[in-house]
């Protein structure tokens, strides 16, 4: 059976499900309507899928220093995975509504703990339905299994190192995956302060996908990445967004392009603005 590590299409996923060769996780979530994803899951989901709530499962409690979606503790994440029947050699497929915005967060988290047999459903549940495939309302239950975490903390960038770089004007490539008006500081619908980290460049994750939520062809993705990085796509980078979620979409894009994987600034903008001494930039 083929192993999938980045993207998978609906018909490939159907074959895995028919062969009982994967675990499927529904990551649908709406920041403005936090219960909508779970409600939609109960209404209908890809057969065999369990539900992952961004706030409750893929993040821990917000603190006075953290961003909006700090990572769960390793023991909590381990319990979550074993409760879903995910072992170290299990093929995992994650999906959301369409664009991979939240599914990529779980894709990255699994890689963070040493599990790379995970793929995002290209185009999400919308692609599944366009393919004429059926949904289910059955909620699966799995016997707990064993999953050994092998976390790679080198995949994470911290506020302290980014702040030090801004103060010393050390060269760093910091990609911000938020949309252009938010990055420029013209609007801020979620966080309390608008703008971006000085020196950051903008690569909105929504510009890397088609209207139907599927990823753009590789040549177009390469052009976008090259433009964002000033023609130097192999440069090391840190990726951020509002709260360390949609930035994972850009991380997956880097994997598709076989670039040096960027690190994730988990706290992202919502953590950066916690301290008013940290500089903020805006642009036209």
CA 8 to chain centre: 16
Handedness of CA 59, 61, 66, 68 (dihedral sign): positive
131 in Cβ contact with 8 (< 8 Å)? no
d(Cα 249, Cα 196) in Å, to the nearest integer? 19
Mapping DSSP to helix (H, G, I), strand (E, B) and coil, where does residue 103 land? helix
d(Cα 148, Cα 125) in Å, to the nearest integer? 30
String of DSSP letters for 175-205: EE-S-HHHHHTS--SSSSS--B-TT-EE--G
Token reading at 149: 């975490």
Q: Report the interhelical angle of 247-256 vs 218-228 (nearest 10°).
A: 120
Judge whether 241 counts as a catalytic residue. Answer: yes
Contacts of 138 (CB under 8 A, 6+ apart): 47
Question: Phi-psi region for residue 169, left (φ > 0), alpha (ψ -120 to 50) or beta?
Answer: left
- Count CB atoms within 10 A of the CB of residue 130: 12
> Which of the following is catalytic: 22, 27, 241, 248?
241
Handedness of CA 157, 161, 163, 165 (dihedral sign): negative
55 burial (CB, 10 Å; 0-12 / 13-18 / 19+) is middle
Which residues are the active-site residues? 241
């Amino acid at each position: 059976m083929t192993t999938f590590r980045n993207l998978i299409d609906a018909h490939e996923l159907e074959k895995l499900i028919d062969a009982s060769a994967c675990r499927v996780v529904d990551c649908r979530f709406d920041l403005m309507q936090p219960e909508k994803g779970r409600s939609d899951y109960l209404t209908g989901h890809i057969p065999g899928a369990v539900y992952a709530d961004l706030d409750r499962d893929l993040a821990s409690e917000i603190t006075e220093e953290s961003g909006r979606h700090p990572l769960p503790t390793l023991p909590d994440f381990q319990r979550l995975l074993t409760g879903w029947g995910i072992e170290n050699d299990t093929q995992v497929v994650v999906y959301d509504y369409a664009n991979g915005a939240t599914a990529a967060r779980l894709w990255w988290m699994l890689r963070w703990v040493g599990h790379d047999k995970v793929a995002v459903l290209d185009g999400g549940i919308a692609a599944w339905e366009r393919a004429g495939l059926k949904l289910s309302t059955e909620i699966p239950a799995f016997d707990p299994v064993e999953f050994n975490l092998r976390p790679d903390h080198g995949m994470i960038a911290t506020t302290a190192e980014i702040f030090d770089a801004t103060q010393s004007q050390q060269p760093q490539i910091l990609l911000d995956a938020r949309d252009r008006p938010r990055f420029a500081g013209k609007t801020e619908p979620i966080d309390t302060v608008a703008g971006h980290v000085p020196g950051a460049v903008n690569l909105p994750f929504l510009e890397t996908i088609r209207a139907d939520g599927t990823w753009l062809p590789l040549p177009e993705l390469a052009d976008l990445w090259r433009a964002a990085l000033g023609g130097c796509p192999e440069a090391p980078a840190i990726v951020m967004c509002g709260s360390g979620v949609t930035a994972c979409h850009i991380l997956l894009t880097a994997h598709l392009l076989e670039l040096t994987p960027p690190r994730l600034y988990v706290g992202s903008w919502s953590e950066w603005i916690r301290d008013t001494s940290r500089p903020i930039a805006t642009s036209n």
